[in-house]
Amino acid sequence: MMKKHVEKLFQDSIEVKKNILKSGLVNNLVTMSHISSKAIQEGKKLLICGNGGSAADAQHLAAEMLVRLRPNNNRNGIPAISLAQDTSTITACGNDFGYDLLYERIVNTLGVKGDILIAISTSGNSNNIIRAMKAAKEKGIHVFGFLGCGGGRALKFCDQTFVVPSDNTGRIQESHITAGHALMELIEDQLIASGFIKLQ
């Protein structure tokens, strides 16, 4: 019984990814990569945010740009910041202003016109994510939504989207990290091909 449950989880994850391939969403990732690599070559950066597991994904992807994404590609860092920063910043904002303002405040403080905000939300309805997206739009920051559940309220604030065709949080998150890895690899490849970053 337990084995069948685990097998079903894997099969469900595979089916969601198959549906993504059929939907043409991969083209959206390619478009995001072109916008991102151009922005980085112009001195801009990636800002990445999410809640819970999506916050971990944001940190994961930012680390792979700042440090190293693939073992064979030793290179200089690529500018990316996870907005789920240190516990002092998170708890200070939560205590003093409210958690809903956390990412909005950081976008307003660190974001500049031409940056990229990658907002990760399985529901597309997280208030702190939506406020960050609104702030980004007002500053002329490109907004990419990694979403699920049809996109939710966040959909209308996105310039580009990757909406996983599922309502299951686990399956959405699994697809988000696959898509995130694909996007970071495409950005890295383009920056290397352009000569903007060199392999060491």
In this predicted structure, what is the pLDDT of residue 1?
Answer: 80
Q: Identify whether 46 is part of a domain.
A: yes
- Rounded to a whole number of angstroms, the CA Rg of the chain reads 17
In this predicted structure, what is the pLDDT of residue 26?
Answer: 97
Q: Identify whether 62 is part of a domain.
A: yes
Burial class of residue 13, CB neighbours in 10 A (0-12, 13-18, 19+): middle
What CATH code is carried by the domain that includes residue 50? 3.40.50.10490
Specify the pTM.
Answer: 0.96
pLDDT above 90 (res 85): no
Q: Identify whether 147 is part of a domain.
A: yes
Q: Name the residue range of residue 29's domain.
A: 2-193
Which residue in 122, 129, 140 sits closest to 106, CA to CA? 129
Q: Identify whether 200 is part of a domain.
A: no
Q: Identify whether 22 is part of a domain.
A: yes
Q: What is the domain count for the chain?
A: 1
In this predicted structure, what is the pLDDT of residue 200?
Answer: 82
In this predicted structure, what is the pLDDT of residue 30?
Answer: 98
Report the first-to-last Cα separation within the chain, whole angstroms: 51
Alpha-carbon gap, residue 1 to 115, rounded angstroms: 49
Q: Identify whether 57 is part of a domain.
A: yes
Average of pLDDT values for 106-135? 98
pLDDT above 90 (res 198): no
The tokens 């922005």 sit on which residue?
39
Contacts of 173 (CB under 8 A, 6+ apart): 53, 54, 57, 122
Average pLDDT, the chain: 96
Q: Identify whether 199 is part of a domain.
A: no
Residue 21: pLDDT band with limits 50, 70, 90? very high
Q: Identify whether 153 is part of a domain.
A: yes
Secondary structure letter of residue 199 according to DSSP? B
